[in-house]
Amino acid sequence: MGPSLHVRRISAADTMEIRWAVLRPGFPRETAIFAGDEDERTIHLGVFLGPKLAGVASLYEVVSPAEIPEGRSWQLRGMATVPEARGMGCGQELLEACEAEAREAGCDLLWCNARRTAVGFYERAGWEIIGAEFDIPTVGPHFRMVRRLNQPARRAV
């Protein structure tokens, strides 16, 4: 049996190394700093594989795009796991913790701009694509996705 997984709140600064390495390789470190990171309402979570931080995600209270269904929503952003921890359940554990935080705060849904390569991961967890593919300059193709929090999560198979 391998190291245990656990998720806990972390600081914005704690997210930087993984965000930068995984989501912004080849770009300046400051491109991994997001608007709202230091807002007192923003929640940063880390998944730990034993004692090592293996993944990060952040939840933001922001104005939702027009296509997001009505209700209280938060944006999930900056979700990333280190390559050596992929396939070990870190992403799923982290996503479930994000959903639980949002539910506990009274949110109706979470939304994110998912990279094309991550769409299957989110779909397996019960997230849905809304709208057409779009491009984020320097990052690439994305889909807007939502997770209605009043529906049970699907488990990856």
**E strands, 27-130, in order:** 43-49, 52-60, 73-81, 109-115, 128-129
Write down all domains in the chain, each with its CATH number in brackets: 5-148 (3.40.630.30)
Separation of alpha carbons 95 and 52, rounded Å: 18
pLDDT of res. 131: 86
Scanning the structure block, which residue is given the tokens 């400051």? 30
Task: Spell out the alpha helix ranges (H) of 32-134.
Answer: 90-104, 119-124
Separation of alpha carbons 92 and 6, rounded Å: 11
| This prediction's pTM | 0.90
Average confidence (pLDDT) over 127-156: 82
pLDDT of res. 2: 63
Q: Identify the band that residue 144 occupies on the pLDDT scale cut at 50, 70 and 90.
A: very high
- Phi/psi at 3 (5° precision): -60, 150
Separation of alpha carbons 100 and 84, rounded Å: 26
- pLDDT, tens digit, for every residue of 35-90? 999 999 999 999 999 999 999 999 999 888 878 877 789 999 999 999 999 889 99
